[in-house]
Copies of this chain bind each other. A is one copy, B any other.
Amino acid sequence: MTNRIKTKSVTLLLVLMTLFVSACTSTSTGQNASPLMIAEQGSFAVGGAVIRNEGEFDPVALTAAGQTLHGDHASVFYQIPVNQRQYPLVMWHGFGQFSKTWESTPDGREGYQNIFLRKGYGVYLIDQPRRGNAGKGTQPGTYAPVPDEQKWFNVFRVGMWPDYFPNVQFPTDTASLDQYFRQMTPDIGPIDINVNVDAVDALFDRIGEGVLVTHSHSGGMGWEAGMQNPNIKAIVSYEPGSNFVFPEGEAPAPKQSSAGELSALEVPLSEFQKLTQIPIIIYYGDNIPEQPSDYPGADGWRVRLAMAQEWADTINRYGGDATVVHLPDIGIYGNTHFPFSDLNNLEIAELMSDWLKEKGLD
């Protein structure tokens, strides 16, 4: 009798555990999460230029004479949830990346696209000009398939190849790493910061007011866009890497690391001051060395973090509202260069969400 009761209890416990594990699994893949209610979704090209060839088009010979080429636009996929919040989020990938940055994570969990749709934000994902689906540019380009993924493993602070950082918020299975390496895509033609910023400027002209979310290389371009288009009501920047803008005469000396020299840019004070009119938050992850290191992958981030802090101080000295959050300083450890797709990305999204609320941007 006692044995049967014990068996039943164990069975019940197993059933409950199975249900619990199953619920967790379902949530993590998004399989059984509540449906996304999308009021509208679609895609378009925005910005760009047109090349026109001299001469008259020949419909028989089909030579290039008299023909056009439309290129240098950004490609945008957007989704607007039912009952969307005040401002949509425009998400802009970093170097070597494309819109995928914000979609499914390497291990198939939901990324920022889905997470913020669920929070009620409209989401616009950009492929910047000459990258990914916006591959049609006005300049020639070449692609050489040079193996470089172990470099990026280190630069993106997943670990020190072949070792993962012990506390890393990144899945350590082979399939996830395969997906991670495949989420890079080459430039087709030269990167042109003005072309990129102009396309994002045109996007905000088209969609109206919103919040710009940048990552890495788009961080610096994001400051330019913020100075160029007043529809950008705030900027959230994950691990901006370069092109911090200071008022003329106030740029700090270049910073040295084993990754090279990091210089700041100078812009007229009147331009710089535009960035003091909007709230800005910057996040950096973990495993950034505090002292100079011979390993350039990690060491570059030491000076970028330092530059970001000086930059925010300058913004705030001019009456702005910029915050730098070094995640380990608030007790969040193990984040890579991609906090928004790391294993703890729901927690990272909550930080951003709370900040948007605090600034009245939700």
Contact = CB atoms under 8 A, between A and B. Distances in A.
Contact of A73 (B73, B136, B138, B182): B182
Interface in A18-55: 29-31, 33, 35-45, 48, 51-53
Contacts of A150: 57, 59, 66-68
Contact of A75 (B41, B69, B100, B189): B100
B181 A68 contact: yes
Number of this chain's copies in the complex: 2
B141 A143 contact: yes
Interface stretch (A165-173, A263-271, A290-298, A343-351): A290-298
A85 to B, nearest CB: 16
Interface centre among A38, A60, A82 (most CB of B within 10 A): A38
A149 B60 contact: no
Given A57-B150, A70-B182, 14 more contacts: A42-B104, A42-B114, A43-B100, A44-B108, A53-B147, A64-B146, A64-B147, A64-B148, A69-B149, A135-B186, A136-B184, A137-B145, A141-B142, A145-B189
Interface of A: 29-31, 33, 35-45, 48, 51-53, 57, 59-60, 62, 64, 66-71, 73, 75, 77, 82, 98-100, 103-104, 108, 110, 114, 127, 131-151, 154, 160-162, 178-179, 181-186, 188-189, 258, 294-297
